């Protein structure tokens, strides 16, 4: 089971590192800027989670996360330099995949150390959203977390699905795949149909 969770974690890091690399490309950053943006996007959320939970930060003794980040950067550089065109929704799709992976993995890590479900879901949201928040702030963009289609809400729903499926005595593998699928599907639907949680009436 640990092996499966580790691979999911690496996939999430890679997907978010891809989204960071794409933003760096769109902002015409140099090589160091690409590495910084991809890295903070890939591990920023999980780092904050581990600091809050007062557990060892996950990447300090495991270099495979940096292998995943640099692998994602290398693949993106090759593709971008050969095609020089970023599909319009490629960034948001990569970001949605990262949300799906990390919302569940963050929730599970909190559950592993005995946190209640509500706290675990909040940790899942932080894990999934904070890396992208840092990415957008560094790139001087309005964070996706704060605008547009449903974002953090999809992570909350995914965390709820995950914790409730575990309480129903379903296997952790089925719960993980189901919750990730729900998170990804809701985010993609929100992007496709422009689903937004309005609380104010805007005149413009």
Mean pLDDT estimate for the chain: 91
∠ CA 159-7-182 to the nearest 5 degrees? 30
What are 137-181's pLDDT values in tens digits?
999 998 888 876 899 999 999 999 999 999 998 999 999 999 999
∠ CA 166-59-160 to the nearest 5 degrees? 20
pLDDT tier, 186 (very low <50, low <70, confident <90, very high otherwise):
very high
Residue 204 lies in a domain: no
pLDDT the model gives residue 3:
80
Residue 116 lies in a domain: yes
How many distinct structural domains can be found in the chain? 1
For range 87-101, the mean pLDDT:
85
What range defines the domain where residue 129 resides?
2-193
Residue 200 lies in a domain: no
For range 100-128, the mean pLDDT:
96
What are 15-63's pLDDT values in tens digits?
999 999 999 999 999 999 999 999 999 999 999 999 999 999 999 999 9
User: Around Cβ 185, how many Cβ atoms within 10 Å?
Assistant: 15
In sign, the C-alpha dihedral spanning 196, 199, 201, 204 is negative
């Amino acid at each position: 089971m640990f092996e499966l969770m580790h691979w999911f974690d690496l996939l999430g890091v890679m997907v978010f590192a891809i989204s960071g690399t794409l933003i760096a490309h769109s902002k015409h950053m140099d090589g160091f800027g690409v590495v910084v943006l991809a890295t903070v996007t890939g591990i920023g959320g999980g780092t904050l989670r581990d600091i809050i939970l007062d557990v060892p930060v996950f990447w300090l003794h495991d270099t495979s996360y940096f292998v995943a980040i640099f692998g994602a950067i290398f693949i993106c550089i090759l593709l971008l330099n050969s095609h020089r065109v970023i599909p319009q929704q490629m960034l948001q799709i990569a970001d949605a995949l990262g949300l799906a992976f990390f919302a569940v993995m963050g929730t599970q890590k909190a559950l592993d150390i005995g946190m209640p479900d509500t706290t675990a879901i909040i940790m899942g949201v932080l894990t999934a959203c904070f890396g992208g928040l840092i990415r957008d702030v560094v790139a001087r963009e309005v964070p996706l977390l704060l605008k547009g289609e449903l974002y953090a809400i999809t992570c909350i729903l995914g965390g709820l699905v995950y914790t409730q499926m575990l309480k129903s005595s379903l296997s952790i593998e089925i719960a993980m795949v189901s919750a990730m699928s729900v998170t990804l599907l809701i985010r993609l639907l929100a992007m496709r149909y422009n689903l937004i949680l309005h609380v104010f009436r805007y005149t413009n």
